[in-house]
Amino acid sequence: MEIFHISAECYPVAKVGGLADVVGALPKYLNQLGHQAKVIVPGYDTKFSRENEFENVHNGQLTLGYFQFSYSILKEKRNQLGFELYQIVIPDLFDRPNIYSYEDDTERFLAFQIAFLNWITETNQYPDILHCHDHHSGLIPFMVQNCYNYQHLKQIPTVLTIHNAQYQGWFEANKLHYLPDFHPSKLGFLEWNGAINPLASAIKCVWKITTVSPSYLEEISSNANGLENLLRYERRKSIGILNGIDNEVWNAKTDEMLAINYDLNDFIKGKTKNKKILCEQFNLDFKKPLFTFIGRLVGEKGADLLTEICSVALNQNVNKINILVLGSGDAGVESSLENLKSFYYGNYNAYIGYNEKLAHQIYAGADFLLMPSRVEPCGLNQMYALRYGTIPIVRRTGGLKDTVLDIGDGGFGICHNETSVFDVNYSINRAINLYKDSEKFDAVRKSTMQIDHSWDKVATEYINVYQSLKKLTK
């Protein structure tokens, strides 16, 4: 089968969060199973786009209301990612360094989707499946079903993966004329709560919805930033498929970003050496348990409580623990985490920013990973931590619930019920006790490293979804 993944992010081309990791890995594993999965992303001005060779495979025009844009389709020349990668270059809209957060994001992602549909129309491509990810490609199911220009694509099954229902891409009805023409009776498929809502539209129009974990599918019927009723209504066409991780990228034995490689046989030595180097770099004491937080500094991840969590833990355990934070996001959170450095010098440090290499080094060198998320559709970080022998401390929610079992229940992680300073600190204290019992600590770490969350297994679940949809077209 030929499957087109249309997404705003794809690792290592353009990454903000876990969406990129999934789109950068799943297609590779679909291809390994004998399919042709391709990825289409906007042509941002990123390091990857600058440093790799692309060939121009198509040029075209698109209309966005009164505006006209030229676009070109660039194909990555060497297929080095394990799938064909296409970038849609639209000068003025995407040749910028960041992926999101521009005032004209509505125009940018609409133009991206229209350019995509124009391209496959002008080049007569009829893939077997159009797989959209989050709201940035959420208007495609509506357009292929209802816009006059794309009626010939109507029979192609569409899939929507919801990585995060909090972000929906809504915009005012006065921008409706950006969309290619459709019959006014179809307007209802675009609207939700008085605005044009691309994620809601996808939920309504798509053939199949997948969420990135089974528990998240349950949760969004009561917590989905206003889409609860709609998601409940469309429950029958929804399925939760737990994300995998790319075991080729996340392999402590071969990971080139690590100072010292290790595997199951020598993980104690390997992790200690990585920890030593990391602690030297961040002025921490490698003999103490090292707790870390890696991720976007936003409320969803519980990052607004992080400063308080750190100070309470560091006060309760004076000179007994280390905490290292890596992340960027909310400016207030960034600066309060930054300020904490001078109060807990030698026990706490933070790197404010995005740094993929450092993230790998922290997974290898840390002892415990904190994930106090309020909302976590899947969460990949806990899976990376497990694979690198770092014990996750998580709030029981979404994918965290599906992947981390508490040591008290015969599992390998530490779980708490609430995103609260109290709950996290209670867990930190449990972790300190576990760390003191080095035999048990090592046994738990060893067991985490053997858990298999690879995409090999998960990719077949997507194939089953695609095949069941394909059958409906015959």
- Binding stretches for ligand GLC (CB under 6 A): 17-19, 22, 163-164, 212, 243, 376-380, 399
Which of 16, 15, 19 minimizes the C-alpha distance to 378? 19
Q: Are 408 and 221 in contact (CB under 8 A)?
A: no
* Cβ proximity to ligand GLC, 8 vs 212, nearer residue: 212
Measured from the CB of residue 380, what is the shortest distance to ligand GLC in angstroms? 5
Measured from the CB of residue 217, what is the shortest distance to ligand GLC in angstroms? 13
Measured from the CB of residue 4, what is the shortest distance to ligand GLC in angstroms? 18
* Cβ proximity to ligand GLC, 289 vs 399, nearer residue: 399
Q: Within 13 A of 206's CA, how many CA atoms are on the CB side?
A: 35
**How many Å is the Cα radius of gyration of the chain?**
23
Strand order of the sheet with strand 414-416? Answer: 348-352, 322-329, 290-297, 368-371, 391-395, 414-416
Bin 83: left if φ > 0, else alpha if -120 < ψ < 50, else beta. beta
Measured from the CB of residue 179, what is the shortest distance to ligand GLC in angstroms? 26
Measured from the CB of residue 216, what is the shortest distance to ligand GLC in angstroms? 8
* Cβ proximity to ligand GLC, 42 vs 240, nearer residue: 240
* Cβ proximity to ligand GLC, 108 vs 133, nearer residue: 133
CA distance 200 to 189: 8
* Cβ proximity to ligand GLC, 383 vs 444, nearer residue: 383
* Cβ proximity to ligand GLC, 204 vs 301, nearer residue: 301
CA distance 33 to 241: 18
Structure tokens at 12: 């290592």
* Cβ proximity to ligand GLC, 5 vs 163, nearer residue: 163
Measured from the CB of residue 95, what is the shortest distance to ligand GLC in angstroms? 25
Bin 393: left if φ > 0, else alpha if -120 < ψ < 50, else beta. beta
Query: In Å, how far are 288, 297, 325, 326, 333 from 337, measured between CA atoms?
Result: 20, 10, 8, 10, 6
Measured from the CB of residue 377, what is the shortest distance to ligand GLC in angstroms? 4
**Residue whose tokens read 């816009």:** 147
CA distance 434 to 56: 56
* Cβ proximity to ligand GLC, 145 vs 381, nearer residue: 381
User: Residue 442 burial (CB < 10 Å; 0-12/13-18/19+)?
Assistant: middle
- Using CB atoms, what's the residue nearest to ligand GLC? 18
The SS3 of residue 200 is helix
Structure tokens at 469: 């949809």
Measured from the CB of residue 379, what is the shortest distance to ligand GLC in angstroms? 5
Q: Within 13 A of 331's CA, how many CA atoms are on the CB side?
A: 0
Residue 217 CB neighbours (<10 A)? 21
* Cβ proximity to ligand GLC, 42 vs 399, nearer residue: 399
Measured from the CB of residue 49, what is the shortest distance to ligand GLC in angstroms? 22
Show the DSSP H helices in 258-393 as ranges: 267-281, 306-316, 331-343, 356-365, 381-387
CA distance 203 to 161: 10
Measured from the CB of residue 400, what is the shortest distance to ligand GLC in angstroms? 9
Structure tokens at 192: 């939700």
* Cβ proximity to ligand GLC, 87 vs 381, nearer residue: 381
